[in-house]
Amino acid sequence: MRRLFFVIVALLAYGSFYPWHFSFWGPLWPAVVRVFHAWPPILTFGILKDMALNVVVYAPLGLTGYLSSAAGFRWARALWPIAFGFAFSLTVETLQSFIPGRDPSGMDLLCNTVGAAAGVGIAMGYESAIVTGLQRINRHARRPTSALMLLIILAGHYLMPLTSDAIRLFSTYHQPVLLSQAWNWTDFLNAAVTWLLAGRFLEAVAGRRGATLPVIGSLLAAAFLMRLLSPNLLFTWPILAGSVLGVVCWRMTEGRRVDIGFAVLTFVWLVGDGLRPFTFTAQNQFDWIPFRGLMGSDWTGGVEALLNKAWMYGAAFWTWEHAGLSRARTLAALLVVLCAIEYAQQQLPGRVSTMTDPAMGLIAAGLLWAVERKYGA
């Protein structure tokens, strides 16, 4: 987990200082003071969205920092990631004064620190309160598992666009669009696989006797309600039908030894999603710099896409390992598959071939590996 913490720090530094062009105009201390005086005059939708995004981006730092700590005084374990997040963010905001086109912000410093604290809170709940709840419904689930972490990643993927749309709803009125009549097979199949896997992971966490059907039914209903209340179109009939089908298919396989079947399913899911639209007519260039496309795009959509990738690649890693592969071989197989997909995407129109996906696969698998190593039975 400690190695993953350093990876998160490196990624935050990489994204914060991109494109790494510095122009030093004076000593550091005035730049430090400038951070605490740089506050937005009014709160617009763009600023509110950036605030929420900073909280989300720095949450993994607090989460991995807390979980990487050795056993000891709980509040000491909780305070040092928050203090580190504040110091790291202050360093970032200070140095951004010397990057042309970037401006320091006291609001960003505050939100980054809050994000680190939120990550610590999630980790503390993951380690204690959630474990207590699991013990009540499943005596065999004595410790949190990687399946539980995958469910948390899935929840983050579902809530991320809703967070942005809620900010938009409070800043300006938008007429909500509930359900579209258009049918999309890709959305339908993705939703079916997602909720089938969600049921499988919930079963792994709670056990067959843990009344998982009412739980996943409640989660499905909650997801529908949250997305339907969004001011933008976030649920369609294909997603609705696919989600219900996924829950039904999981119910049919609940309690059965179908690990190889789930491994094959996630493999086909990854390959199918990566090779769309299956017309090899383009000549795209391969980008060796990971996450570069995210730097110039809308961060809200970018973070949602990264959470989706973490969910997909983490699900593949989990199912392949439980099909009988060792963790090292599972990680190697995942990276080989993702690199092969990226190579093929050089001939796919509308797709971008980059190192981002293999990097996200490594991060997602590393997180699950670290959680299992620290807390797994």
Phi, psi of 13 (to 5 degrees): -65, -40
Report whether 89 contacts 109 (CB < 8 A): yes
Coil, strand, or helix at residue 354?
A: strand
- pLDDT at 216 > cutoff 70: no
Question: What local confidence, expressed as pLDDT, does residue 228 receive?
Answer: 59
**Cβ-Cβ contacts under 8 Å for 50 (sequence gap 6 or more):** 108, 111, 299
Coil, strand, or helix at residue 287?
A: strand
pLDDT category at 303 given cuts 50, 70, 90 is: confident
Prediction pTM value: 0.76
Question: What local confidence, expressed as pLDDT, does residue 72 receive?
Answer: 59
Question: What local confidence, expressed as pLDDT, does residue 257 receive?
Answer: 81
Report whether 95 contacts 153 (CB < 8 A): no
Burial of 334 (0-12, 13-18, 19+ CB in 10 A): buried
Q: List the one residue out of 103, 113, 106 whose CA is nearest residue 16.
A: 103
Average pLDDT of the chain?
80
Question: What local confidence, expressed as pLDDT, does residue 314 receive?
Answer: 95
Question: What local confidence, expressed as pLDDT, does residue 174 receive?
Answer: 46
For range 141-149, the mean pLDDT: 68
- pLDDT at 365 > cutoff 80: yes
Q: List the one residue out of 320, 313, 207, 227 whose CA is nearest residue 270.
A: 313
Cα–Cα distance, 140 to 376 (Å, whole number): 11
For range 323-340, the mean pLDDT: 94
Question: What local confidence, expressed as pLDDT, does residue 233 receive?
Answer: 47
For range 103-113, the mean pLDDT: 90
For the chain, the domains span 1-137
> Which one has a higher pLDDT value, 89 or 12?
89
Q: In the structure encoding, which two tokens stand for residue 251, read together?
A: 């119910």
**Cβ-Cβ contacts under 8 Å for 337 (sequence gap 6 or more):** 267, 270, 271, 316
pLDDT category at 137 given cuts 50, 70, 90 is: low
Terminal Cα distance for the chain, rounded: 16
Mind listing the pLDDT tens digit for each residue in 56-96?
889 889 988 888 876 556 777 888 899 999 999 999 999 88
Mind listing the pLDDT tens digit for each residue in 235-282?
678 888 888 899 889 888 887 788 999 999 999 999 999 998 888 888
Report whether 17 contacts 99 (CB < 8 A): yes
Report whether 178 contacts 237 (CB < 8 A): no
Cα–Cα distance, 124 to 122 (Å, whole number): 5
For range 213-223, the mean pLDDT: 66
Q: List the one residue out of 143, 122, 140 whose CA is nearest residue 66.
A: 122
Report whether 62 contacts 82 (CB < 8 A): yes
What is the H or E stretch that residue 264 is in?
Answer: helix 259-275
pLDDT category at 300 given cuts 50, 70, 90 is: low
Question: What local confidence, expressed as pLDDT, does residue 127 receive?
Answer: 73
Mind listing the pLDDT tens digit for each residue in 223-238?
666 655 555 545 678 8
Residue length of the chain: 377
Question: What local confidence, expressed as pLDDT, does residue 209 receive?
Answer: 52
Burial of 93 (0-12, 13-18, 19+ CB in 10 A): buried
Per-residue b or e along 126-152, where b marks 16 or more CB atoms closer than 10 Å to that residue's CB: bbeebbeebeeebeebeebbbbbbbbb
pLDDT category at 338 given cuts 50, 70, 90 is: very high
